[in-house]
Every structure is written in C-alpha cells, then in structure tokens.
Amino acid sequence: MATSRWTGTAETSSVSLRRRGPVLERAILDAALEQLSTVGWSGLTMEGVAAGAQTGKAAVYRRWPSKEDLVADALQAGLPALDEAPDHGSIREDLFQLCRRLRDALYSRSGFALRSVIHECDSITAERFHGVIVRRLIEPSNQLFREVVSRGVERGDVRPGVAGDLVFDVIPGLMMYRSKVCGSEWPDRDIAEMIDQVMVPLLSSRAG
C-alpha cells in the first residue's frame, strides 16, 4: 500500500511539472536558437530541437509544421530589441555606443543564429526570413542611426543635409563586409577606428 501511495505521488508530481503553453513554446524556441548557433541551419533538425527542449517531436510539429516556420518564430522572439537611440552628447560617442549595441546583437546567440540562416540558406529559403530580418534588425537600426544623426544636426556637430540614404548604409555595409570577408568580430578598437576615420569626417560640421 505504501508503495502504491508513493508511486501515485510521483506520477502526480510528474504531471504537475509538465510544461505546457507559452512555457513549452519558449523552451522550443530557445532550443531552436541553440541549434542554429551551434550546428547551423543545415544541421538543425526538428528532432534535435525537440530533444533540446526535452519534449516530444509531435509537440514541435503541432506548433510549427516546418523547419522554416520554427526558425522564423525563433528569430522573431530571440533577436534583441533595438528601440532606444543613445544620447551621450556628441555624434562620435552616440555612434560608437550604437555600433557596440549592434555588434553585441550580431554576436549574441540570436545573432549567430541569424547569420547561419543568411549564410547557409539558398535564396528561396532565405526569402522566407527576409521580413523578420527587416523588421527586427534593418529597420530598427536604421531608425536609430537617423535619430542619432538628427540629434547631431540639432547640436551642430553634424552638417545639415549630409544624411542621405547612402550615408546610413556605410556602417552596416562596413560591419557586414568585414565580418563576412575578413572575419572581424568588431572589437571596440575597430568600432572606434570606423567612427573616427570614416563617420565623423563624413558627417562633421567642420568638414568641407
């Protein structure tokens, strides 16, 4: 009888600890990001995600019918928010701090996951994630750059009219090129050089 009561208690405890709803979904999304950042897009499997989340494969497929659907939601949930422009009193310091935040986002677990998708997917599959990348990374970072530069114009350390669309492509273009082609992980020293040697001379009210 004592054994029966102990077994029943253990079973009840097991059921009560079983994850459901948002808690389970968060565990699955975290497991997908972990897989992307370690084995990449090509190595990610729904079975591996289920094992990482300590759940059954059916629980994953019930929520996300395909690998693409799962990864799109994992990136959407995992990429850090870029929602506040730094204000440190000068265009140089504002750009430096903003670039550090972008660097940290790109080299976070979610950033590694994003890069594995961009680098490994064929063009048709990559198109599936275009909207997520634009909404969560490109548009927010571009908006923050515009806010920083507009504030610099108001302070008088940025030339009025200098900030066209091509100017806002300089920093992300350099960061993407040197990350992908040169293998740079953008330490603070390299960010400072980019700001001091490229962006400040380009934007400065003392230029030209």
* HEC sequence for the chain: CHHHHHHHHHHHHHHHHCCCHHHHHHHHHHHHHHHHHHHHHHHCCHHHHHHHCCCCHHHHHHHCCCHHHHHHHHHHHHCCCCCCCCCCCCHHHHHHHHHHHHHHHHCCHHHHHHHHHHHHCCHHHHHCCHHHHHHHHHHHHHHHHHHHHHHHHHHCCECCCCCCHHHHHHHHHHHHHHHHCCCCCCCHHHHHHHHHHHHHHHHECCCC
What pLDDT, on the 0 to 100 scale, is given for residue 59?
A: 95
User: In this model, does residue 202 exceed pLDDT 60?
Assistant: yes
The answer to whether the pTM exceeds 0.85 is: no
| Domain spans, the chain | 18-78, 91-203
Torsion angle defined by CA atoms of residues 59, 63, 65 and 66, in that order, rounded to the nearest 10 degrees? -90
Q: Which residue has the higher pLDDT, 4 or 27?
A: 27
Torsion angle defined by CA atoms of residues 31, 35, 32 and 71, in that order, rounded to the nearest 10 degrees? 170
User: In this model, does residue 6 exceed pLDDT 50?
Assistant: no
Instruction: Check if 18-78 and 91-203 are the same fold.
Output: no
User: In this model, does residue 7 exceed pLDDT 80?
Assistant: no
Q: Which residue has the higher pLDDT, 208 or 170?
A: 170
Would you say domain 18-78 falls under CATH 2.40.110.10? no
Query: What is the tens place of the pLDDT at every residue in 96-136?
Result: 999 999 999 888 888 888 888 888 888 888 888 888 888 88
What pLDDT, on the 0 to 100 scale, is given for residue 17?
A: 43
Amino acid letter for position 72: A
Query: What is the tens place of the pLDDT at every residue in 131-178?
Result: 888 888 888 999 999 999 999 999 999 998 887 888 999 998 899 888
Query: What is the tens place of the pLDDT at every residue in 60-95?
Result: 999 999 999 999 999 988 888 888 888 999 999 999
What pLDDT, on the 0 to 100 scale, is given for residue 10?
A: 39
CATH of 91-203, one of 3.40.50.2000, 1.10.357.10, 1.10.20.10, 3.30.465.10: 1.10.357.10
What pLDDT, on the 0 to 100 scale, is given for residue 11?
A: 35
Mean pLDDT along residues 35-55:
94
- Other Cβ atoms less than 10 A from the Cβ of 11: the count is 10
